[in-house]
């Protein structure tokens, strides 16, 4: 059964969001969901990013660039909410001053990449209390069995994927907040009655859980929540420059494994130049046997628009070095205006960022309160 939003989202619009890959969206439609009552509602888009420092190229291609694309192409009555999910960041130990800096840097980055506060609501999750209220309410219907099978708490604690909650290592290390992280994520999405959630591939499992939890709630209490659909970016999974079988991430110990959106042109060239490839100096596209060079081709294709196969054919007769040089130039050209806007926003001595954040929190609270009034009434609170 389709969610209310999908019925109004045109096929060509979805195609433009997924780089032509409409089956990504259809896959979400195939998960059964209760029919919600709000069929006349316009589409609502929600997504979030953790404040873990300046975002990297994976965050950008997998999420932020798509958020801006949506902002610029979605029908006018589509509402959009993008959040720095600072409460999620607390599921691993944080140093207060560092977190404060990262929240600000994250916020500045969202504006620097092109989110326009007059079109999209940008806010800090912790400033909108309805997220945590709904989190608690959803935790009364969320399945422990489902949560225990999910992978993120295991990977964050360096535990094997097949470990069970009964295992002594899991019991010793696992904290409730990390375990229930997906419930807060479901609350983020559902409190805004989001119909579409643009994310990278690594968030697929969390989106499935959100749909399942919306369905569980609706089944018990009536049709309150639309089932959110994931919009998976065409850049599903940007890989590490140093370990190309792993996704590019903030947690890798080698800083050269990721390109930050604020890196200088020189740093970008150095990082691309030092990207790990194999002993073969030629260029070909073969993600299974040649993950390093294939990752470079994939990143280039996301800037260039041509397919990896076409790019590989072009560079076949030249060298890996020239591919790396061209890729470094493309990335720095694209990121330069973002970096400049970011530096000017972060250096701004007026309280512009705070004003935008406060306004965003007000708008997001007003939207979330509409949901919470219905939820409270439904529950008899």
Q: Which residues in this chain contact ligand TYM in the complex, by CB under 6 A?
A: 46-50, 58-59, 62-63, 85, 88, 185, 188-189, 197, 199-200, 202-203, 206, 235, 237-238, 247-249
User: Residue 231's closest CA among 40, 85, 69, 352?
Assistant: 69
316 is a catalytic site residue: no
Residue closer to ligand TYM by CB (options 238, 297) is 238
Residue in 236, 242, 247, 324 annotated catalytic: 247
User: Residue 48's closest CA among 225, 240, 194, 177?
Assistant: 194
Minimum distance from CB of 168 to ligand TYM (Å)? 28
State the Cα–Cα distance between residues 130 and 218, nearest whole angstrom.
18
23 is a catalytic site residue: no
156 is a catalytic site residue: yes
User: Residue 81's closest CA among 49, 112, 131, 121?
Assistant: 121
Minimum distance from CB of 27 to ligand TYM (Å)? 16
Sheet bearing 196-199, strands edge to edge: 121-124, 79-84, 44-49, 196-199, 229-232
In sequence order, the β-bridge partners of residue 265 are: none
Minimum distance from CB of 82 to ligand TYM (Å)? 9
Residue in 156, 173, 236, 273 annotated catalytic: 156
Residue closer to ligand TYM by CB (options 249, 330) is 249
Task: With residue 7 as reference, give the H or E element that holds it.
Answer: helix 4-8
Residue whose Cβ sits closest to ligand TYM: 62
Residue in 250, 255, 270, 273 annotated catalytic: 250
Residue closer to ligand TYM by CB (options 174, 241) is 241
Residue closer to ligand TYM by CB (options 4, 228) is 228
Residue closer to ligand TYM by CB (options 103, 206) is 206
Write the CB contacts of 67 (distance below 8 Å, at least 6 apart in sequence).
Answer: 45, 47, 80, 82, 110, 113, 115, 120, 198
Contact, 148 vs 209, CB < 8 A?
Answer: no
Residue closer to ligand TYM by CB (options 5, 200) is 200
User: Residue 251's closest CA among 49, 82, 56?
Assistant: 56
Minimum distance from CB of 279 to ligand TYM (Å)? 25
User: Residue 275's closest CA among 332, 331, 235, 328?
Assistant: 328
Residue closer to ligand TYM by CB (options 199, 327) is 199
Minimum distance from CB of 380 to ligand TYM (Å)? 28
Minimum distance from CB of 83 to ligand TYM (Å)? 7
181-191 helix and 204-221 helix, angle to the nearest 10 degrees? 70
For 289-351, give the DSSP string: T-HHHHHHHHHHHHHH-S-HHHHHHHHHSS-HHHHHHHHHHHHHHHHHHHHHHHHHHHH--SS
- Report CA 244 to chain centroid distance, whole Å: 20
State the Cα–Cα distance between residues 106 and 334, nearest whole angstrom.
19
Minimum distance from CB of 351 to ligand TYM (Å)? 25
Q: Which residues are catalytic?
A: 156, 247, 250
């Amino acid at each position: 059964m389709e969610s209310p939003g999908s019925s109004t989202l045109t096929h060509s619009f979805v195609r433009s969001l997924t780089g032509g890959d409409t089956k990504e969206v259809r896959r979400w439609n195939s998960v059964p969901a209760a029919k919600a009552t709000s069929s006349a509602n316009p589409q609502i888009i929600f997504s979030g990013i953790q404040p873990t420092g300046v975002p990297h190229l994976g965050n950008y291609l997998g999420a932020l660039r798509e958020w801006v694309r949506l902002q610029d192409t979605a029908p006018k009555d589509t509402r959009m909410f993008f959040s720095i999910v600072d409460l999620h960041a607390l599921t691993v130990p944080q140093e207060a001053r560092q977190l404060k800096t990262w929240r600000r840097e994250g916020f500045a980055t969202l504006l620097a990449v092109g989110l326009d506060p007059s079109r999209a609501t940008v806010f800090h999750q912790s400033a909108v209390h309805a997220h945590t209220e709904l989190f608690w309410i959803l935790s009364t219907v969320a399945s422990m069995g489902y949560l225990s099978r999910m992978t993120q708490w295991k990977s964050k604690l360096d535990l094997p994927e097949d470990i069970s909650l009964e295992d002594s290592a899991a019991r010793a290390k696992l904290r409730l907040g990390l375990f229930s992280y997906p419930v807060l994520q479901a609350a983020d999405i559902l409190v805004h009655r989001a119909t579409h959630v643009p994310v990278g591939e690594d968030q697929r499992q969390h989106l499935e859980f959100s749909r399942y939890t919306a369905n569980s709630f609706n089944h018990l209490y009536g049709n309150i929540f639309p089932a959110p659909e994931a919009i998976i970016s065409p850049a599903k999974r940007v890989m590490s420059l140093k370990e190309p079988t792993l996704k590019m991430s903030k947690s890798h110990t080698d800083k050269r494994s990721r390109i930050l959106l604020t890196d200088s042109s020189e740093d970008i060239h150095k990082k691309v130049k030092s990207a790990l490839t194999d002993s073969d100096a030629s260029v070909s596209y073969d993600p299974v046997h040649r993950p390093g060079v294939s990752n470079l081709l994939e990143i280039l294709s996301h800037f260039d628009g041509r397919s990896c196969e076409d790019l590989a054919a072009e560079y076949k007769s030249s060298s890996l070095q020239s591919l790396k040089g061209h890729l470094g130039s493309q990335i720095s050209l694209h990121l330069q205006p973002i970096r400049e806007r970011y530096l000017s926003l972060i250096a701004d001595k007026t309280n512009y960022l705070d004003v935008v954040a406060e306004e965003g929190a007000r708008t997001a609270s007003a939207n979330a309160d509409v949901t919470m009034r219905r939820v409270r009434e439904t529950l008899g609170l």
